[in-house]
Structure 1
Amino acid sequence: MRPPLRIAVLECDTPLPETDSRYHGYGGVFTALLKSSAKTFNDGDRLDPEADLHISRWDIMSRMEYPKLEDIDAVLLSGSRYNSYEDVPWTNRLVEFTQSILAQGRVRLLGICFGHQIVGRALGVKVGPSDQGWETAVCEVDLTVKGKELFGRDKLHIQQMHQDIVSECPSGVTLLGSSPRCAVQGMYSPRRFITVQGHPEFNEEIEIEIIKNRTKAGVFSEDQAQEALSRVGNEHDGVSIGATFLNFLLED
Structure 2
Amino acid sequence: MNKPILIVITGETFASISAAHGDFADWIEAGLAASPLPGLAIERFDARGAAALPDADDYAGIVLTGSHAMVTAREPWSERLGHWLADCAARGVTPMLGICYGHQLLAQALGGEVDDRRDRRFEIGTVSIGQRAEAAGDPLFAALPARFDAQVVHYQSVHRLPPGARLLAASDTDPCQAFRHGQACWGVQFHPEFPLPAIEQYLAILRAQPGAHGADALPPQVRLASTPEAFALLARFARLCLTA
1:21 and 2:19 aligned? yes
Which whole-Å CA distance do the structure 1 matches of 2:183 and 2:86 have between them? 15
Structure 1 residue 155, shift from structure 2 partner: 0.9
Supply the distance in 2 between the matched residues of 1:174 and 1:251 (Cα, whole angstroms): 23
TM-score, length of structure 1 as denominator length: 0.84
Aligned match for 1:121, one of 98, 108, 128:
108
Shift of 1:222: 8.0
Q: Does 1:135 align with 2:127?
A: no
Please state how far the C-alpha of 1:64 moved relative to its aligned partner. 5.0
The worse-fitting range, judged by mean Cα deviation, of 197-206 and 176-185 is 176-185
Which aligned pairs between 1:39-118 and structure 2 lie closer than 5 A?
A: 39=36, 47-48=37-38, 52-63=39-50, 66-118=53-105
Offset from partner CA, 1:6-62 (integer Å, 9 cap, x none): 1111111122224423565432221111112x24xxxxxxx23xxx22111111113
Q: CA 1:161/1:223 → structure 2, altered by over 3 Å: closer, same or farther?
A: closer
Aligned-partner Cα distance in 2 for 1:211–1:64: 35
Name the counterpart of 1:203: 195
Shift of 1:171: 2.2
Q: Distance in 1 between matches of 2:19 and 2:209?
A: 21
Code of the aligned partner of 1:221: A
Equivalent residue for 1:147?
135
Report how many residues are paired.
Answer: 237
* 1:103 CA displacement: 1.9
Superposed CA deviations along residues 111-167 of structure 1, whole A, max 9, x for unmatched, are: 101111011101111101111322111101111123244242111210000121111
1:164 aligns with: 156
Whichever residue aligns with residue 209 of structure 2, its letter is A
Deviation at 1:226, TM superposition (A): 7.7
Task: Provide the C-alpha distance between the structure 1 equivalents of 2:217 and 2:7, rounded to a whole number of angstroms.
Answer: 35
Q: Would the aligned equivalents of 1:5 and 1:73 in 2 still touch at CA under 8 Å? A: yes
Is the Cα contact below 8 Å between 2:99 and 2:191 reproduced in 1? yes
Deviates more, 1:118-127 or 1:208-217: 208-217
- Deviation at residue 191 of structure 1 after TM alignment: 3.4
Structure 1 residue 67: deviation in Å? Answer: 2.1
1:244 corresponds in structure 2 to: 236
Is the Cα contact below 8 Å between 2:129 and 2:169 reproduced in 1?
yes
Q: Distance in 1 between matches of 2:31 and 2:135?
A: 20
- Distance of 1:14 and 1:53 partners within structure 2: 24
TM-score by length of 2: 0.86
Q: Decide whether the 8 Å contact of 2:60 with 2:242 is kept in 1.
A: no
Output the CA distance in 1 between the equivalents of 2:23 and 2:49. 14
Q: Compute the RMSD of aligned alpha carbons.
A: 2.4
Q: Distance in 2 between matches of 1:20 and 1:66?
A: 26
Q: Residues 111 and 161 of structure 2 are in contact (CA less than 8 Å); yes or no, is this contact kept in structure 1? A: no
Provide the rounded CA distance (Å) in 2 between the counterparts of 1:223 and 1:67. 37
Structure 1 residue runs without a partner (length 5+): 40-46
